[in-house]
Amino acid sequence: MKSAKRFQAVLVNSGNANCFTGKAGIKDAQAAAGYLARELKIAQNTVLVNSTGIIGKRLAVAKIKQAIPELVSGLSRMGVHKAKKAIMTTDTFAKEISLSLIIANKPVHICGIAKGAGMIAPNLATMLCFIMTDAAITQAALDKAITAAVAKSFNCISVDGCMSTNDTVLALANAAAGNKIISQGRDLRNFSQALESLCLDLAKLVVIDAEGATKFIRIDVTQAKHFQEAKGIALGIANSVLFKTAVFGQNPNFGRVAAAVGASGFKIKEEQLKIKLGSLKGKQVKLTVSLSRGKASCTVYTSDLTPEYIKINAAYN
């Protein structure tokens, strides 16, 4: 089934990742898309299928087929409030952010929902995110905006450093706002800034809801040679089990940070490295690492690692 250039529907199921199921899994996804397409009277290749949950089990396609008529009849402008709950797995709360801005004297709205709490690492995570806007915007401009927004938000968070098989961020626009079409210039910059803000707020909610977490940790790496260096070192710290457990135990052992910087693959001299670790007593912890070798910086968000995380994942099946 070839993808369309424009899409009209998204079909999501939770509890089953439909991954490591071979050709049968592909056929199951195509069948589910076909059932929804026929009910909506649209082309099958305009349906986007998303799944999250257990790996290695076939989709219950018959149950999906049975549920589709009710789902379609229940479509509503207020349906996002049900959708954000339906996509949850180990999440403890639903995640939604909405905002509005003015484009060429027209109000434009952006709404995003996401799920994710564990197996969260940049580029591949057990995370689904669906962003909807009524903006009139070209496909190229929307692609540019969402790519930039993801780079500074969802790709700058880590809960446990573990990647997953199911990782999706979709941005859909229907042009209902009636604004002048966004393609470049100031309108695109304003839209992109708003989209980046929304994505970052959603990404932070994922970290706040991290499995078993008691701390929300912000890591600022500054004065790096370039962004890649700053991000690599920030993620190295964020994914350090020793650092994360030290934060949980409120143990201000900055040696854990120094070790993570040294293991990052970037050669930092001892006299260049400056570490400032804030109080570990509250729920929010801030760590600043200065490298004294440039002007680039990156901020990464992570959580502590707790015994509760082990309990949740030891029992997940």
Catalytic residue IDs:
126
Report the predicted TM-score, pTM, of the whole model to 2 decimal places: 0.92
Task: Return the CATH number of the domain spanning residue range 79-211.
Answer: 3.60.70.12
Q: Residue 46 in contact with residue 8, Cβ under 8 Å?
A: yes
Return the domain boundaries, the chain. 1-75, 79-211, 216-314
pLDDT at 4: 58
Average pLDDT along the chain, 317 residues, taken 10 residues at a time = 76 93 96 97 96 92 96 91 92 96 96 92 86 96 96 94 88 96 96 98 96 96 97 96 96 95 93 96 97 97 95 84
pLDDT at 181: 96
Q: Residue 307 in contact with residue 278, Cβ under 8 Å?
A: no
pLDDT at 2: 55
pLDDT at 163: 84
pLDDT at 317: 73
> Is the domain 216-314 a CATH 3.30.530.20 member?
no
Dihedral sign of CA atoms 135, 136, 139, 142 in order = negative
pLDDT at 216: 98
1-75 and 216-314 share one fold: no
Task: Return the CATH number of the domain spanning residue range 1-75.
Answer: 3.60.70.12
